[in-house]
Amino acid sequence: MSGTLSLTEALIERASVTPDDQACQSLMIERLARIGFECETIESGGVTNLWAVKRGTDGDAAKLLAFAGHTDVVPTGPLEQWTSPPFTPTHREGKLYGRGAADMKASLAAFVVSSEEFVAANPQHRGSIAFLITSDEEGPATDGTIKVVEALQARGTRLDYCIVGEPTSSVTLGDMVKNGRRGSMTGKLVVKGVQGHIAYPHLAKNPVHLLAPALADLVAEKWDDGNEYFPPTTWQVSNLHSGTGATNIIPGHADLMFNFRFSTASTVESLQSRVHAILDKHKLDYDLKWIVSGLPFLTPRGALSEALEKAIRDETGVQTELSTTGGTSDGRFIARICDQVVEFGPPNGTIHKIDEHVEVRFIEPLKNVYRRVLEQLIA
């Protein structure tokens, strides 16, 4: 059994459902400390975070490459639906099954073992290596990576490169790398009417009727054209509710929840302003609360993406695709202190599902790709 596979299994055995790290980071710290990493645990709100650094011989001028990820996993769902226990690593037909196998304990193990191999082969490496690991990525993400980023900002620490180990591949290892993510912004709209008897509509104001023309405009609006890296911004209704459940009452308010997935072609302020303009055009009496859960980030082609593309090609023969599709990730926080953030990990077809798994044949190449990037950028 390879060292990477063995460590992946050891991490899967720990039922680290958000925000309980279950000592996954302690296991990583034990390995990293042996090869000279200075390890710091940052706790916040019941979340365990790790910041670890192995400094290069270039001192303060050393380029800093960080591996970032999360030890927490989503809940298992119904245990009886799993073919094997979710926290018992199990092999079937060339696949390793277990919660977190793909998202993202294989990547964590590959981070550690690639660093061990790199340091052994390059004891006088010029650049520095760091680990930024949290147990709060799958949950609210309010006490995880963002807290480490804030601590690093306070110290004046910036990263030159960051690889987030999210499972980005599609069909085979290396066919897709994320070099950015869209932002996410939710609006909670309440349109006010006047409740009344449905037989006397002249004595009431139906908020659903009032909302309908504005809703049609919002659906029809073209928010932007996207750009080279991002598709156009999308606006979607996620919830619409009104009424008491009775058949003879005009409701007093209509509640609409919607979400933007937006690119760097738009800003939070511009999107909010345009929504308010549409609502005001229809003279609605309303309250609107905004929740920005993530800003978009983008890493244009550069040293990190090129090194990763070359490492993938040399290791697997696959020509990778840069993409910004998918949901949000902790890359949105790390981009505040790092100009080059990319995400790369194993195929994501089973993440968050019953019988989550990773193909064993991808685990060693994943580790090797990470090691090749280290060799290119900080040896």
Q: Any idea which residues carry the catalytic annotation?
A: 72, 137
Q: How far apart are CA 350 and CA 276, in angstroms?
A: 40
Provide the b/e sequence for 19-42 (b: ≥16 CB within 10 Å).
Answer: bbbbebbebbbebbeebebebeeb
C-alpha torsion 85→91→97→102, nearest 10? 150
Q: How far apart are CA 38 and CA 292, in angstroms?
A: 34
Q: What is the 3-state secondary structure (H, E, C) of 209-251?
A: HHHHHHHHHHHHCCCCCCCCCCCCCEEEEEEEEECCCCCCEEC
Question: What's the angle, vertex CA 50, arms to CA 145 and CA 12, rounded to 5?
Answer: 95
Instruction: Count the neighbouring beta carbons within 10 Å of the beta carbon of residue 326.
Output: 16
Cβ contact 343:293 at 8 Å: no
Establish how many alpha carbons lie within 13 A of residue 170's alpha carbon, considering only the half-sphere containing its beta carbon.
12
DSSP state at residue 164: E
Cβ contact 275:187 at 8 Å: yes
Q: How far apart are CA 18 and CA 131, in angstroms?
A: 19
In the block, tokens 């809940």 appear at 75
Element (H, E) at 341: strand 341-343
In the block, tokens 């979340």 appear at 47
Which string of DSSP letters, residue by residue, matches 244-297? -S-SSEE-SEEEEEEEEEE-TTS-HHHHHHHHHHHHHHTT--EEEEEEEEE--E
Question: What's the angle, vertex CA 137, arms to CA 84 and CA 146, rounded to 5?
Answer: 165
